[in-house]
Structure formats: structure tokens, C-alpha cells
Amino acid sequence: MDIEIIGRLKKICGDDFVVSDLSKIGNYLYDETEEYLKPEACTDVVVVKPKDASEISEIVKYANEILMPVIPRGGGTGLNGAVIPDRPGIILSMERLSKDIEVDGKNLMVIADSGVTLAQLNDELKKTKGLFFPIHPGDEGAQLGGMVAENAGGVSAVKHGIMRNHVKGLEVVLPTGEIVTLGGKLIKNNTGYDLLHMMVGSEGTLGIITKVILKLYAKQNHTGTLLVSFDSRQDASDTVPAILQSGITPLAIEYVEKNVIEEAARHMGLVWPAKEGIVDLMIILEEGTENDLFAKSEAIVEIAEKFNAVDSIIAETAKDQRNILQIRSNVYTAFIEHAIDGMDISVPPASVPYFVRDLDEIAAKYNTTLPCVGHIGDGNIHNFVMKENGEKPSWFEDIRLDIYKAAMKYGGAITAEHGTGKTRKSYMPLQYTAREIEIMKGVKRAFDPNGILNPGTIVDL
Amino acid sequence: MDIEIIGRLKKICGDDFVVSDLSKIGNYLYDETEEYLKPEACTDVVVVKPKDASEISEIVKYANEILMPVIPRGGGTGLNGAVIPDRPGIILSMERLSKDIEVDGKNLMVIADSGVTLAQLNDELKKTKGLFFPIHPGDEGAQLGGMVAENAGGVSAVKHGIMRNHVKGLEVVLPTGEIVTLGGKLIKNNTGYDLLHMMVGSEGTLGIITKVILKLYAKQNHTGTLLVSFDSRQDASDTVPAILQSGITPLAIEYVEKNVIEEAARHMGLVWPAKEGIVDLMIILEEGTENDLFAKSEAIVEIAEKFNAVDSIIAETAKDQRNILQIRSNVYTAFIEHAIDGMDISVPPASVPYFVRDLDEIAAKYNTTLPCVGHIGDGNIHNFVMKENGEKPSWFEDIRLDIYKAAMKYGGAITAEHGTGKTRKSYMPLQYTAREIEIMKGVKRAFDPNGILNPGTIVDL
């Protein structure tokens, strides 16, 4: 990286907070994208660690002068390569914007620096009288700003929705350098076009989030986990709307195929407690009283029995619940080392059994397996494309295309929660028309006329 | 309107569905905007009533050729003049797109033509086993597409949020004529930029909504209404977060000043049942069981007593509840005939008592009154600017500016739920910087390069 650029950045942020030595920037080049998918990082980059929005504004204004890409980087827990630099540029690490975090109990909101991690937020909330923030992606090292930029999801979308539903305000440094506040401690705001919602899920391409205002809720203290087993995917799937229509909204309704979850348990030296059937629903309840928890657990078992459930297990102790959750959480770890892609498709929830049947057919066509788990309550299925003899198979691109096309039959989405980034971008034309992508480019230009902010992510200008 | 244009439109929609006779278009020129605020409608317009997206696409393509504005019009229940033509153009009435409405119980969603009214939807949902749609603005004549375009709110935002939270998919005719589907029967979709959320609240300026996919929920059958009275606004306000922090989420928490609500009751020949104090909270609960309803009602009264409530009334019978709701709903009717503006400000919920104190001070400055009611649970206050001797006072613009500036002190919004339209547009610079408004114009251009769709609404190009 040009010595003049480094000098100018040091002038803005101080010598200690500009890193260009290749031996020290390794941790800033990649995120958690699967090995086989990630683009190779460009190493002609400089890492800057600004302390606030004002320094970021100066950096961005300078970047516009010299037309140098700026790549905002949060916790690096993303799965789509959005923060992997694919060309020379300035990596803007948000790690120092992690000091301020203020819980506003009267408005049931928190205002925090965007570099605050989810772990930090949850620690802070433990000090309150039972306030909590409901969104929880896999990794608590995720930063709040990154969670907004990626519109994080997770298992609890059935009850709590996704990140978008809980973002009320943002401080943003625009790609042209202005610092603006979008929304606020507001539940309702209908003035003008909603730039706040444009920012959610924009993956660092439309602005750099420097503060977040998130909605908080009263914690429901009684949680329970049920496993309900079925001999048929259709029965398992049909049970889901019957539960929701009965007025019960679980925190999560997870879909696990027995062979997949048993493999994940073996991998941990544990045993999956539900033995019967070929597929389980794992249902997590979160209720205000113990009575509600029991009543709803029983009601769910009754409903499942109407749909031919062959077994039901109610995990009552904290230890039993933790055991089940750990095995479910370990599916990713158990499979990803033998996989080359962990996909992230969404379909209408009721289409899940048809989509899973399609996965079987596609697997047979390529003489492989496509193990999957998923958030069936919200139609989000994660399936793995497996290696062949430990290597990337020759049909890797073909099978992914078949899988995406299968999802499109049901009006599905290429990515439900991981985001488009750099790794899913080329599949966008399967889901969107040329005119829609053209409009997206126009939106990008409206925010970022010089295209300096995280280029190569979501759309190419 | 040019005879050639009328001829071409008749060719697209049929002779019966193109109306240009001035005596017959009167019902298509205005919405429900206050008399003193509405712009004068341009009468050099033609009303077309297309039957589907395909005809709309043809109309829009033609309008691009001749650069003629197109004004999409729903139920005409809006309050901001968005559908009042301020220049020659084609009024596109959505009334015939009102046939298809399909409840999908398995996905807990409904897919409907955008011209279907809220009344039609609610009638259809009565046929289901207890599914409901939670958003309810004042008028059931609102069309679903219009409710999306205006991001409708209402009293139940505390529990159910706003329209945006429940829109999952849209079919849209873009301003350039392409017919696209945004989202779908999907709970999660993170592919590309979210054009669906850009469309919500865009007031017919970015696209013409022709189908909507909305989320449905299991109805909670037990509703109750509480009135809790206070001698102090601050106590009333402080009670609200205490209720929410306790884990109780009422359907609505309304704020009523005693003198305002008593006037509304008198206007109807009724009596407001709560006599004590100067301000009431009206709290509506909606629970799954009668036990929950009673337990939560009692818990709320206990909390309110800690904040010095001077009286509590639990309306148990359907008749008592209806009585209270009718009086509350009548506030608008009671005051609007003596008012020249019913404003729609939002502030952080905990700032409501400070903002109301500001309203008192501003009223004193102009020697008038500023009666207000509001959704205190979500910080949305509706205050009335009253006539002076039955006329628009000379200080009309000044007082509104003072009120908006007061709201801005708390990080508030010019419009919480009514939308920007034509009547609030000029105040946008109070809430947004020049660069933000410039970006909004860029977004508009990305969708609508010729600026033909509902020009003059939200932004001017």
C-alpha cells in the first residue's frame, strides 16, 4: 500500500491504529466463510482502527478523493465473504467503537457503539431486571453493527423475527462522509423513504454503521425443549402450522433428520435422546410462567400425536435441554469439515418437505448425500454439499445450481440469513430479474456515487 | 385530457374503465386529508380502472412514452394528500384488483389482490379457525396495497408493530412497466438489497403494488380494557415501561388527557367512566385465556398503584369495553371539525410527558389549546391545531413549526403513521439532512428514471 496513503491515515487515526505490515494483518483478511468458497484475499491493504464516527468520516472523505475502496469490518463472523478484500483497499476495523453501551429501560431500548459484541450486550443486559435482546446468530463475537449490516437471523425467528424487526435507529457514516442518524428511539417513523431499512442487510456497501439503537424486551424466564419424532417428513411439517394456529408461538421449531443429528451427537461423544422415527421436530418454548410452559408443552404433544408422532420427549432439566441444544448446535461443526458448502436456502415453511425430497433426488443424481438441518418454523434449511473422497467434486457448481433452482420452484431465496456477500452474488439472477438488479445498482449509486464502499459485495457497479 | 391519451387508455382497459368526464371523477380527486391542508386537485386528469398487473404494466409503459404522471389510488383513506393529483395525470384506481384473496393456513399467510380492503380481509379471516391480521388503521375501507404503500400503523403497535412487520411479499409493477415479485411466502430473505422494504411506505412513488402477501397469526380471544387514572402526566408515562418490563405486552396503551376525552364523550352523548385525575391510560389486553387476562389486568393495576394511580377501572363486559373504545375512537371526529390540522408526531415513548408539556407551552404562546391523544406505548401523539373563531389562524404555519421543532428536540419524527405525502413534505428538512434527502431522490430515480409515478409526493426530483 502506498506510503502516502498510510501516512494520511496515520494522521487521521494515530500511528498505533494503522497497520500495514503483512505479518500483522492476517486476522483482518478473512471471515468464517467456508474454505472452498472464499475468494482469495488481496493483501495490498491497510487496516485502520478508527476511534469514532468522526475519524471514519475523515477516512471516507479521503478515500473518495483517491477513489480507494473502504471495507468496513465487524466481528469477522460472517459466512459470505462480504469483508474479504478482493482488491486493494482500506480495511476499516470497528473494534475500537466498543465502549458505549447504554440500556434505556424507560424506552426499552439500548443504544450502543456498533463495535460492541453480542456477548458484551448480553453481559450488560444481565445487570438489568430481566431485559433481553432476542436475536442470536451462532457466534456471540458478532458485533451489533455487523448484525445489522447482515440482517442476522438465527433459530428464534419463529417468535422474535430477525434483526430488521428490532433495529430502531442507526448512526451511519455515509459513503460520502456525512454522519447521519436514521430513525431513533422511535417505534414509528413514516417520514420520507426509509433509509434505515435500506441499511439493514446492506453488508457495509451503503454506509458504515457507528451506533445502533435496538429494541429490548422483558425476558420470559421459563424455557423448555421438546423432541417430537415422526416416521414421515410430511407429518412433521404439517405439525408446525397446527402448533402456530393453536396460538402457541415457540421460540424455535427446528427440523432435524435423524441420521444427521445422530452423526452430530456421535461426533461429540453424546447420544441423541430421541430414538424413534426418521425425523424430529425440536421445539423450544420460552414462557412467562412454569404453568404456561407445561400447558403448552402438553398441548404441542397432543397436536403432534394427531399428526402421527411416534415419540415425544420433554426435556425438563437444564442439563437435558443443554445436551439437546449442544448436539443441534454441533451439526454445523460435525459436517462442515467434510463439506464444501453449508447452504442457507429459505422456502415457504410449508414447502420444506417438498424441498427436502428434492434434495434427496438431487443427491441421488450426483451419487452423494445432502445432509440438512433447518429452522422449519421459518422455512430456512441449511444443507451441506459434501466432499467426494475428501476433495471438491467436479460437479460442485452443477449441484448447487440444481439446489438453488429447486428452491426457486417454491418461490424461495438463495440466502435466508447468511447474506449475499461475495459468495452468493453470482446466483442473484436466479431470484431477481435484470431490472431489479439494475435498481439495486441505482440504489447503491444513490448512496455511494464513487462506489468506494465495500465494492464487489452484493452488486458490482 | 388529450383525446388521444384517453383513446389509448380505453384500448388497454376497455371503454367502461376509463373515466374523464369531470362530473364523474369527483370521488377520485381527494383523500381524507384535512380540509385546510389538502392541495387543490388538478382536474385535467383521467381515471383508469385496470383489471390486473398486465394492464397496469401497459399503462405505465405508455405513460413513460408520453411522460405523463401516473397516480396509483387505493381506498382513498389516506391523510397526507399522497393521491391528490397536483398536475395533469392518469389516476390509476386499484378498485378492480379486489377479487383474489387466498388464506394459506399452512404458511399462516394470506395472498391477496392489492385492491382488497381490510374489511374484505377481515371477513375472509372470520371463515378460518381463528387466524387474524393484526394491523388496523382507523378505516376498514383502506385497501391492503394502500396500507403497504403507507406503512399503516394504528393503536396496536405496542404488541403487533406496524404494517412493515407483516408484509412478506409483494407483486409490483415497476415505474418502468416490469412486473416483479419481491419477497414471497418467506420469513427470511437476505438476497441482495431489500427492495420489498423500500416499497413499504413509498406511497405509490416507487412502484404500483398489485398483490400482497401478509403474515397471519392465531387470534387471542380474550380481550379486556383497563382505564387507569393519574394526577400527573409523568406518573402515567412512567407506568408504561414498568408494565412492559414486567413481561406484559398489552395490545395497546393509549394516553388520554381527561378534558379531551370528556369532550369526545359529550360529543357522542356518552359519559367517560373514569372521573379521577387529569390523565388516563387506556390499556387493552388481548390474551389466550381468561385466566391470563385477569392475572395481567390485576398486575397492571398493582404496577399503576406504585406510580400513584388514583383510580382503576377494569371494563369486563363487551358493552363497557365498546363504550370506552367508541369514545376514544371519536376523539378525532369530535375535534377535527374545530381543527385545521390533526398532527401525527412520534417521539421516544418515555419523552411523551415532556413533549406534551411543550405542547402546553406552545399553546399558551399562541393563546390557543392543543388537545392531544396518543399511542403512548409507541410514542405516537396526535395533537390538534384548533381554529380561531372558526377560521384558519394567522399563526397556523408558525405554531406547526414550533411543534415540529419541539418533537425534533427528542429525536422525534414529523409523521409516525400518516405518511409524508404532499402535506408533510416541506417539513422533511427538519428531520433529515440535505444529503439524506438527496439519497432519497437518488433512490426514486433508480426506480423511476422518468419520474412519472406519483410525482410531488415525498420528494420532488
Interface predicted TM-score (ipTM)? 0.97
CA B366 vs CA B305, B372, B403, B404: distances in Å: 36, 16, 12, 15
Q: Which of chain B's residues have a Cβ under 8 Å away from the Cβ of A307?
A: none
What's the length of chain A?
461
**Residue ranges in chain B whose pLDDT is less than 70:** none
Tell me how crowded residue A398 is: count the other CB atoms within 10 A of its CB: 13
Q: What are phi and psi of A279, to 5 degrees?
A: -150, 140
Cell of B321: 369495553
Q: From the CA of A21, how many Å to the nearest CA of chain B?
A: 34
Chain-chain contact of B420 with A189 (C-beta, under 8 angstroms): no
φ and ψ at residue B411, rounded to 5 degrees: 75, 35
> Residues A152-176: what's their mean pLDDT?
95
The amino acid present at A333, given as its one-letter code, is T
Which of A67, A68, A76, A74 shows the shortest CA–CA distance to A49? A74
CA dihedral B47, B52, B54, B57 (to 10 degrees): 40
Q: A188: closest CA among B2, B377, B263, B132?
A: B377
Is B130 in contact with A245 (Cβ distance < 8 A)?
Answer: yes
Nearest-angstrom CA–CA distance, A387 and B120 = 53
Residue A435 has pLDDT above 90, yes or no: yes
Looking at residue B460, what is its pLDDT? Answer: 94
Test the B interface: residue of A165, A439, A454 with most B CBs within 10 Å: A439
Q: Which CATH class is domain A222-335?
A: alpha beta
The residue whose grid cell reads 442507526 is A170
Distance from CA of A127 to the nearest CA of B (A): 14
Backbone dihedral angles phi then psi of residue A146, each to the nearest 5 degrees: -65, -40
Please say whether the beta carbons of A124 and A113 come within 8 A: no
Residue among B186, B218, B415 whose CB faces A379 most closely: B186
3-state secondary structure of A431: helix
DSSP A112: E
Confidence class for position A138, pLDDT limits 50, 70, 90: confident
Interface test with A, best of B190, B214, B248, B441 (most A CBs within 10 A): B190
Q: With an 8 Å Cβ cutoff, are A419 and B245 in contact?
A: no
pLDDT at B333: 85
Chain B partners within 8 Å of A151 (Cβ)? 190, 194
What single-letter amino acid sits at B349?
A: P
Check pLDDT > 90 for residue A337. Answer: no
* Residue A113, C-alpha cell as written in the block: 457503539
Summarize the confidence of residues A29-36 as an average pLDDT: 94
Q: According to the model, what pLDDT value does residue A333 have?
A: 86
Coil, helix or strand for A278?
coil
CATH class of A3-93: alpha beta
Q: Report pLDDT digits (tens) over A84-113.
A: 999 999 999 999 999 999 999 999 999 999
Q: Is the dihedral of CA A93, A145, A182, B193 positive or negative?
A: positive
* Calpha distance A104→A126 (Å, rounded): 14
With beta carbons under 8 A apart, name residues in chain A contacting B207.
none
pLDDT at B154: 87
Q: List the single residue in B with minimal CA-CA distance to A234.
A: B106
Q: Do B241 and A106 touch (CB under 8 A)?
A: yes
Residue numbers in B near A105 (CB within 8 A): 241, 245
Contacts of A435 in chain B (CB under 8 A): 174, 176, 178, 180
Residue of B185, B437, B439 best to disrupt the A interface, most CBs of A under 10 A: B439
**DSSP string across B403-440:** HHHHHHHTT-BSBSSS--TTTTGGGHHHHS-HHHHHHH
Contacts of B194 in chain A (CB under 8 A): 151, 164, 197-198, 200-201
Is the model's pLDDT at A336 over the cut of 90? no
Cβ <8 Å between A190 and B420 = yes
pLDDT in tens, A366-419: 999 999 999 999 999 999 999 999 999 999 999 999 999 999 999 999 999 999
- The domain locations on chain B are 3-93, 101-218, 222-335, 338-428
Count CB-CB contacts under 10 A for residue B312. Answer: 21
Task: Give the position of cell 437444564.
Answer: A318
Q: Give A46's pLDDT tier (boundaries 50, 70, 90).
A: very high
In this structure, the number of other CB atoms found within 10 A of the CB of residue A145 comes to 28
Count the Cβ atoms, other than its own, within 10 Å of residue A22: 11
Strand partners, B234: none
Q: What does the pLDDT look like over B390-425, one tens digit per residue?
A: 999 999 999 999 999 999 999 999 999 999 999 999
Cell, residue A268: 461429540
Of A105, A153, A184, the CB nearest to B241: A105
Q: Where are the beta strands (DSSP E) in B74-135?
A: 89-93, 101-104, 109-113, 131-132
Q: With an 8 Å Cβ cutoff, are B130 and A247 in contact?
A: yes
Q: Which of B158, B169, B193 sits opposite A443 (nearest CB)?
A: B193
Q: Do B222-335 and B101-218 fall under one CATH topology?
A: no
Question: Which element (helix H / strand E) includes B59?
Answer: helix B53-66
Per DSSP, helices labelled H in A230-351 are 233-245, 258-267, 290-306, 318-336
Task: Give the residue on B whose Cα is nearest the Cα of A437.
Answer: B192
Substitution target in A180, A191, A253, A306 with the highest count of B β-carbons within 10 Å is A191
**Distance of residue B215 Cα from the nearest chain A Cα, in angstroms:** 12
Q: Which amino acid is at A234?
A: Q
Cα A373 to Cα A152: distance, rounded to the nearest angstrom? 18
Which H or E run contains A376? none
Q: Facing residues of B93 across strands? A: B73
Q: Assess whether pLDDT exceeds 90 at residue A316.
A: no
3-state secondary structure of B395: coil
Q: Which helix (H) or strand (E) holds A317?
A: none
> What pLDDT, on a 0 to 100 scale, did the predictor assign at position A96?
98
Whether A170 and A154 have beta carbons less than 8 Å apart is answered as no
Measured in angstroms, the CA of A239 and the nearest CA of chain B are apart by 9
Cβ atoms < 10 Å from Cβ of A192: 26
Q: Which long-range contacts (CB under 8 A, 24 or more apart) does A19-27 make?
A: A19/A46, A19/A47, A19/A48, A19/A49, A20/A45, A20/A46, A20/A47, A25/A91, A27/A76
Burial (Cβ within 10 Å: 0-12, 13-18, ≥19) of residue B392: middle
DSSP state of B161: -
CA distance linking residue A43 with residue A238, whole number of Å: 51
Nearest to A109 by CA among B295, B241, B138: B241
Residue B362: per-residue pLDDT: 98
Fold of B338-428: Alpha-Beta Plaits (3.30.70)
Residues of A in contact with B244 (CB under 8 A): 108, 218
In a mutagenesis test of the A interface, which of B128, B193, B423, B461 is the best target, namely the one with the most A β-carbons within 10 Å?
Answer: B193
Element (H, E) at B66: helix B53-66
Q: Where are the beta strands (DSSP E) in A67-207?
A: 70-73, 89-93, 101-104, 109-113, 131-132, 167-173, 179-183
- Give the minimum alpha-carbon distance from A191 to chain B in angstroms, rounded to a whole number: 5
Residue type, A156: S
Chain B residues within 8 A of A200 when measuring between CB atoms: 194, 197
Does residue A313 sit in helix, strand or coil?
A: strand
φ and ψ at residue B349, rounded to 5 degrees: -50, -40
Contact call for residues B361 and B429 (beta carbons, < 8 A): no
Q: Which CATH code for domain A101-218?
A: 3.30.465.10
Distances (CA, A) of B390 to A61, B387, B423: 54, 5, 21
Q: With contacts defined as CB-CB under 8 Å, which chain A residues touch B131?
A: 245
Which residue of chain A comes nearest to B164, CA vs CA? A165
Cα(B350)–Cα(B379) distance, integer angstroms: 7
Beta bridge partners of A48: A18, A92
